[in-house]
Amino acid sequence: MTVNIIVCVKQVIDPEAPPSSFKVDEASKKVVPPAGVPPVISPFDENAVEAALRIKDAQGGKITVLSMGVNLLREVVKKPLSMGADELVLLEDEAFVGGDSWANALGLAMAIKKIGQYDLILCGRQAADWDDGQVGSGIAEMLGLPSVTLARKIDVGDGKAVVERVTADGYEVIEVSLPALITVSNELGEARYPTIKGIMAAKKIEPAVWKPADIGLEPAQIGAAGRKISLERLYQPVHEGKCELIEGESPEEAGVNLALKLREQKLL
Amino acid sequence: MTEYRGVMVHAEVAEGKLAAIATELLGCGRKLADDLGEELSAVIVGSGVSGSAQEAFAFGADKVYVVNDALLQDYRTDTHVAVMEKAVRQAMPSILLLGQTSIGRDLAPRLAFRLETAATMDCIELAIDSSSKRLLCTKPVYGGNARAAFISEVEPQIATVRAKAMTPLEPDSSRKGEVVAIEAGLDPSAVRTKVTEKVKQEVEGISLEAANVVIGGGRGIGGADGFKQLEELAGMLKGAVGASRPPCDNGWVPDVVQIGLTGKIVAPDLYLAVALSGSSQHMAGCSGCKNIVAINKDPEANIFREARFGVVGDWKKVLPAFTEKVRELLAE
Ligand SMILES: Cc1cc2nc3c(=O)[nH]c(=O)nc-3n(C[C@H](O)[C@H](O)[C@H](O)COP(=O)(O)OP(=O)(O)OC[C@H]3O[C@@H](n4cnc5c(N)ncnc54)[C@H](O)[C@@H]3O)c2cc1C
């Protein structure tokens, strides 16, 4: 069977930027984007794109990428296209900003309804900004679809998907009827690099840009106005720790001195 | 309108006993319930789980709802969300707590959305806000680089709690309470998933989560061979070996030993971090570590901001000498 897949991706501040470059503005309860570090697709969402591409490689199909926000950099949100996805839909409007998982899932679910044709919806297991991991399950609930979270492998066939789901001590194999929503974890494997051909092809693809009204929503239902959970405070934890560096004439001696120090401290 | 009242804990049972996270949730739930002057209940869902009710009382519950049904043997989203929805609609708790576990991560959001709200996931602090009397939920965000405090404007207020973030009460087996059985009433044909296999990736020796000494290796270890040296040291110290994500992604060690935001939460007395940079996502799994000791060749590595003791140097030179000295000291 050829498979119609929708993948939801989020543009986030690069989570691998050095922790020392990370700053918040407590007054506005916002993160200050680090200067000179471009945003990225949230890494688990890239794993979800990879999962979609593997299914497409195996049996053919169409991959539509869906992203929501403002100031979506085209070179960022087009990356999945340059990896091999086919279409891009952007929910781009100030009204979509500042939502919680509820408001965000609602926007995405309504857009998916409008896209209409799908066998599979894929999301990353959690976005690297709020680390919530709710939007995938939320979309499934809003659309009345079965959901499987934390996939490390997905096989599709016969109107169902067979999913390996990561657990604390290994994984479980789950069969789910289609259409379904699946969230993807990094254990699936790294996302492929865009190819030159892919980058050229992506350049030619014009994203569809939708506003709240296009998906039947009022601004009051989405973004900050649509929140169920209010953000009271955002701050950086203080590091009061001070590290005592153990030295030696040579690295080996430093190792020996470390052992002696830990012994003295009754840590060994 | 019926009022939402009290605190409810979703208590997971593993191998016939309350899971550690359930006892932690009860400890925290007890405090919240006392602050509100309301009741603490537990809900236990599964097959053959009725026996765990007494344990929940011992750890602080006033009342235990039990949903016991053969169809609840495996965790499945459809079945567990359905019975939890039923339990919540019957008990009407104002606060519902679940564990940030492989079950809780899946169950909490879907259940919350069914109840037309959202959860606050992976909390490390919970308190009753003094002015609003609402549940103030604090959780790490941006991979641990920041913390955020949230209040839900909707009932029930749902939160999941990170492992080892809360302390259980001393169990008191004389505590008693009321057991309420809830009929699962599931329609098997409405269940859209099936668990066909469960695969355990066994790791020899002491479990990471229980170990008093953890040796963590990072990308700088360079391969599976390097991890053998960490194993040797761990064996000597009766500890366990863990890793940052790259060694797992590269297949040097099994995925299940990953420590961090999306891996295991460890809380040993001694965490020896070798050739890992101490990314915020990794440290998210280490906040309970009592003493962090780092070996890293880069003096600027973030791990030195977290560690109590450290050596700046090549682990390939530092660690063997350290290991030999430890062997000597332990033999004394
Ligand atoms: C959403 C999200 C979730 C994540 N979840 C997790 C998680 O749960 N757990 C996790 O660990 N990571 C997680 N990560 C990845 C995380 O951001 C880092 O990429 C990862 O932790 C880095 O691993 P590392 O420290 O081993 O590697 P690096 O950051 O590359 O550090 C390697 C270190 O080794 C040192 N080194 C190299 N060679 C030597 C030598 N010979 N001697 C001494 N020192 C040496 C280097 O100086 C360096 O500091 C997550 C990332 C994202 C975006």
pLDDT at A238 over 90: no
Residue A240, SS3? coil
Identify which of A16, A188, A243 to mutate to test ligand 1's pocket (most ligand atoms within 8 A of the CB): A16
Q: Which of B140, B125, B315, B296 is nearest to B223 (CA)?
A: B315
Domain contains A186: yes
Is A109 in the same domain as A176?
Answer: yes
Question: CATH code at A168?
Answer: 3.40.50.620
Summarised one tens digit per residue, pLDDT across range B124-175 is: 999 999 999 999 999 999 999 999 999 999 999 999 999 999 999 999 999 9
Nearest CB partner across the interface for A252, out of B109, B145, B321: B321
The alpha carbon torsion through A174, A175, A179, A183 (nearest 10 deg) reads 10
pTM of the complete model:
0.96
User: A12 CA to middle of ligand 1, Å?
Assistant: 19
Mind spelling out the 3-state secondary structure of B244-300?
CHHHHHCCCCCHHHEECCCCECCCCCEEEEECCCCCHHHHCCCCCCCEEEEEECCCC
The whole-angstrom separation of Cα A154 and Cα B271 is 36
Is A110 in the same domain as A167?
Answer: yes
pLDDT at B1 over 80: no
Nearest CA in chain A to B250: A189
User: B214 CA to middle of ligand 1, Å?
Assistant: 16
Question: Do the beta carbons of residue B219 and residue B246 sit within 8 Å?
Answer: yes
Number of domains comprising chain A:
2
Domain contains A19: yes
Summarised one tens digit per residue, pLDDT across range A11-24 is: 999 999 888 889 99
Question: Do the beta carbons of residue A180 and residue B78 sit within 8 Å?
Answer: no
Nearest CB partner across the interface for A255, out of B118, B249, B311: B311
Question: Do the beta carbons of residue A96 and residue A215 sit within 8 Å?
Answer: no
Q: Which of A52, A39, A226, A210 is nearest to A123 (CA)?
A: A52
CB atoms A146 and B106 under 8 Å: no
Is A195 in the same domain as A251?
Answer: no
Is A193 in the same domain as A263?
Answer: no
Among A47, A139, A163, A167, most B C-beta atoms within 10 A, so best to mutate, is A167
Q: For residue A120, what pLDDT is reported?
A: 98
Question: Do the beta carbons of residue A58 and residue A5 sit within 8 Å?
Answer: no
Range B265-293 average pLDDT: 96
Instruction: Report how far Cα B18 is from the mean position of its chain's Cα atoms.
Output: 13
Is A140 in the same domain as A258?
Answer: no
Backbone dihedral angles phi then psi of residue A55, each to the nearest 5 degrees: -65, -45
Distance from CA of A206 to the nearest CA of B (A): 31
Is A90 in the same domain as A214?
Answer: yes
Domain contains A232: no
- Mean pLDDT, chain B, whole residue set: 96
Summarised one tens digit per residue, pLDDT across range B85-95 is: 999 999 999 99
User: B277 CA to middle of ligand 1, Å?
Assistant: 5
Domain contains A124: yes
Q: Within 13 Å, how many C-alpha atoms sit on residue B322's CB side? A: 33
Q: For residue B205, what pLDDT is reported?
A: 86
Q: For residue A124, what pLDDT is reported?
A: 98
- What stretch of H or E contains A255? helix A251-264
Distance from CA of B175 to the nearest CA of A (A): 32
Question: Do the beta carbons of residue B307 and residue B271 sit within 8 Å?
Answer: no
| Residue ranges around ligand 1 (CB below 6 Å) | A 15-16, 43, 128; B 143, 218-220, 244-246, 258-263, 275-277, 279, 281-282, 296-298, 301, 314-316
Summarised one tens digit per residue, pLDDT across range B109-128 is: 999 999 999 999 999 999 99
Backbone dihedral angles phi then psi of residue A92, each to the nearest 5 degrees: -125, 110
Nearest CB partner across the interface for B308, out of A128, A174, A244: A244
Is A139 in the same domain as A12?
Answer: yes
Whose C-alpha lies nearest to ligand 1, atom 49? Answer: B277
Share of chain A above pLDDT 70, in %: 100
Domain contains A231: no
Closest ligand 1 atom to the C-alpha of B316? 41
Point out which residues pair with B44 in neighbouring strands.
B66
Is A254 in the same domain as A181?
Answer: no
Q: How many CB atoms lie within 10 A of CB B79?
A: 23
**Cα-atom radius of gyration of chain B, to the nearest Å?**
22
CB atoms A22 and B145 under 8 Å: yes
In the DSSP assignment, the letter for residue A234 is E
Range B24-53 average pLDDT: 97
Whose C-alpha lies nearest to ligand 1, atom 41? Answer: B314
Share of chain B above pLDDT 70, in %: 99
Could you tell me the end-to-end alpha-carbon distance of chain B, in angstroms, rounded to an integer? 71
Question: Do the beta carbons of residue A228 and residue B118 sit within 8 Å?
Answer: yes
Q: For residue A180, what pLDDT is reported?
A: 98
Q: For residue A3, what pLDDT is reported?
A: 96
b (16+ CB within 10 A) / e for B89-117: eebebbbbbbbbbbbbbbbbbbbbbbbeb
Domain contains A16: yes
pLDDT at A49 over 70: yes
Closest ligand 1 atom to the C-alpha of B285? 8
| Mode of pairing for the β-strands spanning A61-69 and A87-92 | parallel
| Mode of pairing for the β-strands spanning B146-152 and B135-141 | antiparallel
Summarised one tens digit per residue, pLDDT across range B226-278 is: 999 999 999 999 999 999 999 999 999 999 999 999 999 999 999 999 999 99
Nearest CB partner across the interface for B322, out of A186, A233, A256: A256
**Cα-atom radius of gyration of chain A, to the nearest Å?**
22
Is A165 in the same domain as A251?
Answer: no
Point out which residues pair with A6 in neighbouring strands.
A64, A121
Summarised one tens digit per residue, pLDDT across range B179-201 is: 999 999 999 999 999 999 999 98
Is A258 in the same domain as A159?
Answer: no
DSSP characters over B61-95: -SEEEEEE-GGGSS--HHHHHHHHHHHHHHH--SE
Identify which of B221, B276, B292 to mutate to test ligand 1's pocket (most ligand atoms within 8 A of the CB): B276
Q: Which of B282, B273, B285, B205 is nearest to B239 (CA)?
A: B205
Domain contains A12: yes
The whole-angstrom separation of Cα A142 and Cα B331 is 62
Domain contains A233: no
Is A14 in the same domain as A104?
Answer: yes
Q: For residue A18, what pLDDT is reported?
A: 84
% helix, strand, coil for chain A, step of 5: 35, 30, 35
The angle that helices B224-236 and B315-331 make with each other, rounded to 10 degrees, is 20
Range A111-135 average pLDDT: 98
pLDDT at A241 over 90: no
pLDDT at B2 over 70: no
- What stretch of H or E contains A153? strand A147-157
Q: Which residues of B touch A173 (CB under 8 A)?
A: 195-199
Is A176 in the same domain as A49?
Answer: yes
Distance from CA of A169 to the nearest CA of B (A): 6
Which tokens sit at A88?
A: 């891009």
Backbone dihedral angles phi then psi of residue B318, each to the nearest 5 degrees: -70, -45
Burial class (CB in 10 A: 0-12, 13-18, 19+), A249: exposed
- The domain in which residue A120 lies consists of 3-226
Question: Do the beta carbons of residue A76 and residue A83 sit within 8 Å?
Answer: no
pLDDT at B26 over 80: yes
pLDDT at B204 over 90: no
Torsion sign over Cα A88, A94, A97, A101: negative
Whose C-alpha lies nearest to ligand 1, atom 47? Answer: B298
Summarised one tens digit per residue, pLDDT across range B54-94 is: 999 999 999 999 999 999 999 999 999 999 999 999 999 99
CB atoms B150 and A254 under 8 Å: no
Q: Where are the beta strands (DSSP E) in chain B?
A: 7-10, 13-14, 17-18, 40-46, 63-68, 95-99, 119-123, 125-128, 135-141, 146-152, 157-161, 178-181, 193-200, 213-217, 240-243, 270-274, 291-296, 309-312
Domains and CATH numbers, chain B: 7-190 (3.40.50.620), 213-331 (3.40.50.1220)
Point out which residues pair with A230 in neighbouring strands.
B151
Summarised one tens digit per residue, pLDDT across range A187-227 is: 999 999 999 999 999 999 999 999 999 999 999 999 999 99
